[in-house]
Amino acid sequence: MKINIDKKEVWENIKYIILGLLFAVLINKIMGFFLNTDLPIVAVMTGSMVHDSTTNYRHYQFLKDNFGYSKDFIDSWPIKNGFRPGDVLIIKGIPAEEIKVGDVIVFTYEGQPVPIIHRVVLIEDNYPYTKGDHNPVMDPDCKLMEEPIEGCWKRTSIKGKAVFWIPFLGIPKLILQSIINLFRGG
């Protein structure tokens, strides 16, 4: 069986893929300019913000026990129901002093290759402490410790605050990352 490959059609497909990638980069740069961040679009890659059957304990009860927050106060927060892997967040850069308890922020930690998407659960001395809604504990931030231990996270920058959420739009990135991890052996 002979496969007939039309070289013109192959080059047309390659051209459209390249144009699509250039368009995506351009849109990302334009959005970054208007939203005042170098990371305006973020795909959710983990389940740290998922709301499921553990939400009452890991989210509501944790916040009540540790900070005295009521369920009504927590439910008044933006993006109150969390999100799942494969969802996309639109991020807006804002000054640190405008971040509030309940905001979902995107930030980086020293040595972490991907940005973290977690909720601000406490602000002390203008420093936002974070936790994933699905996580049983707060993020292991060095600033929380009197004597930082090895393995604590040193935040390098806050990219911004989530202002909009689009379900499922990031699934292609999630699939691509899974394939890449499979080939890397991780």
Q: What is the pLDDT of residues 32-91, one digit of tens each?
A: 999 999 999 999 999 999 999 999 999 999 999 999 999 999 999 988 889 999 999 999
Count Cα atoms within 13 angstroms, Cβ side, for 27. 8
Residue whose entry in the numeric block shows the structure tokens 């892997």: 85
Q: 185: pLDDT confidence band, cut at 50, 70 and 90? A: confident
Q: What is the pLDDT at residue 38? A: 92
Enter the DSSP assignment of 114: S
pLDDT over 70 at 148, yes or no? no
Tell me the two tokens of residue 167. Answer: 């379900």
CB 127 within 8 A of CB 58: no
- Region 162-172: mean pLDDT is 91
Q: What is the pLDDT at residue 109? A: 83
- Region 141-165: mean pLDDT is 80
pLDDT over 60 at 186, yes or no? no
Distance CA 169, CA 179 (A): 18
Distance CA 119, CA 102 (A): 6
CB 126 within 8 A of CB 53: no
Burial class (CB in 10 A: 0-12, 13-18, 19+), 149: exposed
129-140 residue pLDDT tens: 999 999 999 988
Strands 88-92 and 155-166: antiparallel
pLDDT over 80 at 5, yes or no? no
Answer with the residue of higher pLDDT: 121 or 5.
121
For domain 38-184, the question of CATH label 3.60.15.10 is answered with no
Query: Element (H or E) spanning 62, and its range?
Result: helix 62-67
**What is the pTM for the complete model shown?**
0.84
Distance CA 105, CA 96 (A): 11
